[in-house]
A and B are shown apart, each in its own frame.
Chain A
Amino acid sequence: MVQYITARLDASFAALSDATRRGVLERLGRSEASITELADTFHMTLTGMKKHVSVLEQAGLVATQKVGRVRTCRLGLRRLEEEAAWIEGHRRLWDARFEALDTVVEELKRKEKTDE
């Protein structure tokens, strides 16, 4: 788990090490934008901007969605929070299951004792 978080932090820091990518995050902080718009803003080719966005996306800092032929980018900073909330929901579900399972196995254990 710790390794996994470290790997993700590494990806985030690597993504943030580039001035253009920091600029893209700043730009997306104001509003979402298509890859074409971002390429124009930063005077880059479409292919070059796609690469930057891909690095940011891998790090979970940007989320993209393709509608028709346009890929729209927005900040993805909430993803880790959403993941933490989902994992907590999953934990509560399993905790409730195990509480109920405790009751069932207690009964089985008592029954085994009586049968002995």
Chain B
Amino acid sequence: MNNRTTVERTSDRELVVTRTLDAPARVVFEAWTKPELFLRWWAPKSFGITFLSCEMDVRTGGSYRFVFGHPASEQPMAFFGRYIEVTPPSRLVWTNEEDEEGAVSTATFEEKDGKTRVVVHDLYPSKEALDGAIASGSTGAWPEQFEALDDLLTTLGGEPVRL
């Protein structure tokens, strides 16, 4: 089984992540849409990130808000948006509104022989928006010990929570 994670910039405005998981689509969809399951994997431990809160109203038009913390950072980071389409167990579309130029993300779950190919497709509003996301992740202004956090947060493109 090819379970390699691939990431490709497929055009000026698009980024595509793929991976095959050894489970039926409905199981993967469940882990993606139930908050108590979702928060166990979305912020990986190896990146040192923890969920401070996780609100998800997974239905078309529903909204979500995730707040992450990191021991090396005083300011938590918030990520939020809306679910545009929820079609169990094959398709989930959401916005990323913490950034004005945030992408629209589409996850598709395609089952074959009991395994599920997951494709996460990010469509940015413009070439400049995706270039900007990439550029902001390359500034390298963080000390070394913050690198993991930097990687994650700049990759996700979140903004600091104003407390």
Contact = CB atoms under 8 A, between A and B. Distances in A.
Contact of A93 (B28, B31, B47, B134): B47
B151 A94 contact: no
B30 A108 contact: yes
Interface residues of B, number: 38
A94 B17 contact: yes
B23 A108 contact: yes
Contact of A86 (B6, B19, B155): B155
B138 A82 contact: yes
A103 interface: yes
Interface string A86-116: 1111111111111111111110110010000
B27 A105 contact: yes
Given A104-B37, A108-B31, A93 B135 contact: no
Contacts of B152: 93
Contacts of B5: 91, 94-95, 98
A86 B152 CA distance: 10
A2 to B, nearest CB: 10
Interface residues of A, number: 29
A67 B53 CA distance: 40
A4 B9 contact: yes
Main secondary structure of the interface of B (DSSP, over half): mixed
Contacts of A19: none
Given A86-B138, A106-B23, A108-B23, A101 B31 contact: yes
B135 A82 contact: yes
Contacts of B23: 105-106, 108-109
Contacts of B22: 102, 105-106
B141 to A, nearest CB: 14
B19 A94 contact: yes
Interface in B5-42: 5-12, 15, 17, 19, 21-23, 27-28, 30-31, 37, 40-42
B137 A101 contact: no
Contacts of B47: 93, 96
A104 B41 contact: yes
Interface in A1-47: 1, 4
9 contacts: A4-B11, A83-B9, A91-B17, A97-B41, A98-B41, A101-B41, A104-B37, A105-B28, A109-B23
Interface of A: 1, 4, 82-83, 85-106, 108-109, 112
